[in-house]
Amino acid sequence: MSLKILLALDFDHTIVSENTDVYVQQLAPGSKLPQSIKQTYCSEIGWTKFMGLVFAYLFENGIRQRDIEECMKSIPLTQGIKELLLGLPDYFEIIIISDSNSVLIDYILEAKDLKDCFSAVFTNPASYTSEGKLILEAYHLQDWCNLSTRNLCKGHILQEYILQRQKAGVSFEHVAYVGDGKNDLCPITKLREQDFAFPRIGYQLMKEIDNLQQNSHPLALKAQVVPWSDGIEIFEALKKLKI
């Protein structure tokens, strides 16, 4: 069995400094969505279906593949993240688990020359129709996790990846998860005592963790919690780990 360390990262507000789904909405006329589109969002329709309507609206208003690509390329990386991704030793395996979509993530990784850093990217599939409209699919439809959205349970994806790698002869001495949002809580509840949770300071995940710790919640975390605001802080913590 080969030993490695797994680093799993969220994408929006983690690898990049913006929310890709929100950022792309600036391409709408006047940089604003009409109220008729905004009103369609609710918990029943879900974010992915809502974004499908957003991309349909952008298409109807003349926005094409090149426009979306250029918009994504303009999003800056979070400070220190490139140094983190490029500086870790070869025994780190790095993956993305994100509720964005495959097209937007691919544009950014390509533009920032980071595509080769990742062993896998788990996100909602997206593609262009023959007419040039971006359409989305849910990564999966789940009903087993009330910490997650219906279309993406990050904890399930993380566990499945670890199991898949075990079957391939790779075991992870440590697992580190880096995120910012409420939907990043599920995967860090799956971590062990030798693992690391990196919540971004000032974002919702940090508040969720504080709430668990202050209220002796049954979902008490086993992993070591290391708050961060800069990718270099994550790098400094992880580079101490050996296998």
Name the CA radius of gyration of the chain, rounded: 18
| Residue among 218, 177, 183 at smallest CA distance from 203 | 183
Whether 109 and 20 have beta carbons less than 8 Å apart is answered as: no
Task: Please give the angle made by the CA atoms of 180, 185 and 187, to the nearest 5 degrees.
Answer: 110
Note if 180 is an active site residue: no
Indicate which residue of 12, 99, 180, 195 is catalytic: 12
Place of tokens 């905004």: 38
Note if 10 is an active site residue: yes
Whether 142 and 124 have beta carbons less than 8 Å apart is answered as: no
Cα–chain center distance at 173: 22
Whether 141 and 114 have beta carbons less than 8 Å apart is answered as: no
Indicate which residue of 10, 21, 99, 180 is catalytic: 10
Among all residues, which ones are annotated catalytic?
Answer: 10, 12
